[in-house]
Amino acid sequence: MPTPVTSTTATVGLGLRRGLMKNLQAAPVGDFDFLEVAPENWIGIGGAHGHALRALAERFPLSCHGLSLSLGGPAPLDVGLLQEVRRFLDQYNVPLYSEHLSYCSDDGHLYDLLPLPFTEEAVHHVSARIRQAQDILGRRLAVENVSYYAAPRQDMDELTFTNAVLREADCDLLLDVNNVYVNSINHGFDPQVFLAGIDPGRVVAMHVAGHFDESDTLKIDTHGASVKPVVWALLAEAYARFGARPTLLERDFNFPAFSELVAELQTIRRLQIEGVSRG
């Protein structure tokens, strides 16, 4: 398996959303360092959108975060999709490709990220599929810890399950800090214990986002709001433990003024500097 080709510098990024396209095109150098794209949404796209992607890729490095590989699903992996993704990654010289530690398809696409059972069988199943994906891609894959609201079966906790997959698959982790917080409230565990239990050598990038407070005991990961103070604090803890990994600010809808997103990116930069000094 090839060695990872990922940056450990303190960089910040935004998702390439069509609702932000004009702002991203007009943004000066320094507002953000990279753009994250879902390759499924851009493979084979031509016309004005394809031209815009190519122009942005000439100015900013791309990172790729997949949506539909369904690593934990029962159906065979979509080899054709993986081959297309590999060509996309090569075309744009993308250093990091990540996917969700979940599944989203069976007999057709389910358009949601569904939780895996935390069992030995699931560890072996998803790890084998990650290894297969890495072989086809010719590079390491980073899996993202996802938010979940119902657990189909838990013979182990999420931390134990995640570590088991990372070891058996020999892959990397895209650490979503907001998901750690959301899951800690919804499922009653200590988020700092979760961070402390992750192998620092596996974490190659991070996500941070806003969520919706349904109640004191139910948080919903939405990507449609500003990052909350408690999540900023947890992100600072993550930097202290793992270093200032490249970090994406996720915002998928309900976009504020672009200056507000830039201010959140500046908060990430500040926490990266502070986290390195703490670490």
**Average pLDDT for residues 134-154, to the nearest whole number?**
95
pLDDT digits (tens, 9 = 90+) for 34-43: 999 999 999 9
174 residue type, one letter: L
**Average pLDDT for residues 137-157, to the nearest whole number?**
95
pLDDT digits (tens, 9 = 90+) for 173-214: 999 999 999 999 999 999 999 999 999 999 999 999 999 999
- What is residue 107's predicted lDDT score, i.e. its pLDDT? 54
Number of separate domains in the chain: 1
> Are 264 and 237 spatial neighbours (Cβ–Cβ below 8 Å)?
no
**129 band by pLDDT with thresholds 50, 70 and 90:** very high
Residue 5 belongs to a domain: no
14 forms beta bridges with 35, 249
Phi, psi of 92 (to 5 degrees): -105, 10
Residue 167 belongs to a domain: yes
Residue 3 belongs to a domain: no
Residue 233 to residue 255: CA distance in whole angstroms: 23
Domain that holds residue 194: 12-278
**111 band by pLDDT with thresholds 50, 70 and 90:** low
Question: Is 225's pLDDT higher than 70?
Answer: yes
Lowest mean pLDDT among 21-35, 92-106, 162-176, 206-220: 92-106
Residue 24 belongs to a domain: yes
Residue 7 belongs to a domain: no
Q: What is the CATH number of the domain that holds 51?
A: 3.20.20.150
Residue 226 belongs to a domain: yes
Question: Is 112's pLDDT higher than 70?
Answer: no
Residue 2 belongs to a domain: no
Question: Is 250's pLDDT higher than 90?
Answer: yes
Residue 126 belongs to a domain: yes
Entry pTM: 0.94
